[in-house]
Structure 1
């Protein structure tokens, strides 16, 4: 078995660059790499907004929190499903995006898209 490592220029970001912006730059470069033996993350990429957005085990605000997103990062969305209606930041939406890299769901409210349901993303089965 061979260990692999990838180093990036994450520390070469301009002073004052937000974590989200730096993360997006690195992700844009690395998500297109063909790494032997690796399985690419499936899904469509979307920007997010809001800070400390919770990723939950199921599409409900009462579900266990499996992670928290930093402000303004890009996420891969594999599918979406109807879940609990969420009201936040002057919006309401019952659609939730499944994030395979995070192993859970986030409300579509915090996905940068003009519609409640994300375009081009299938429903979760």
Structure 2
């Protein structure tokens, strides 16, 4: 479909340029404080680690869970940033991925 000169269309890229094999790239974005890494997709899960603001992460897979409002909006997606077989989740709302939707497969 062709757009007329006065129309505009926004596109969201879902490619993973520069991603290492096994996941999509992301960057932790907070107000400067460290982000808690949880053992599951919600704040009721135990804290197993922390990540500094600006940390680069590899998103292995994503899971729906508790809805969180953060730096990059409101989302119920949680990103698994641990090695295969580990449960290390951070809220997608605090992860810059270049997309407002899923960037990795379901966990």
Say yes or no: TM over 0.5: yes
Q: What displacement does 1:73 show?
A: 1.1
Distance across 2 between alignment mates of 1:95 and 1:65? 17
Q: TM-score, normalised by structure 1?
A: 0.58
Give the number of the structure whose residues are more often helix, by fraction.
Answer: 1
The equivalent residue for 2:76 is 94
Q: Is the 8 A contact 1:108 1:116 kept in 2?
A: no
The equivalent residue for 1:44 is 24
Quote the RMSD (CA, aligned, Å). 2.3
The ranges of structure 1 where at least 4 consecutive aligned residues each deviate by more than 3 angstroms after the TM superposition are none
Identify the match of residue 50 of structure 2 among 68, 77, 85.
Answer: 68
Higher RCO, 1 vs 2 (CA within 8 Å, ≥6 residues apart): 2
Q: What displacement does 1:103 show?
A: 4.0
For structure 2, list consecutive stretches of 5 or more residues without a partner in the other structure.
Answer: 1-19
Distance across 1 between alignment mates of 2:25 and 2:71? 22
Q: What displacement does 1:89 show?
A: 4.3
Give aligned pairs, total. 84
**Residues 46-98 of structure 1: CA distance to partner in whole angstroms, max 9, x if unpaired?**
12211311110000111000111011011011100100111234821100000
Q: TM-score, normalised by structure 2?
A: 0.67
Identify the match of residue 107 of structure 1 among 87, 91, 94.
Answer: 91
For structure 1, list consecutive stretches of 5 or more residues without a partner in the other structure.
Answer: 1-31, 33-40
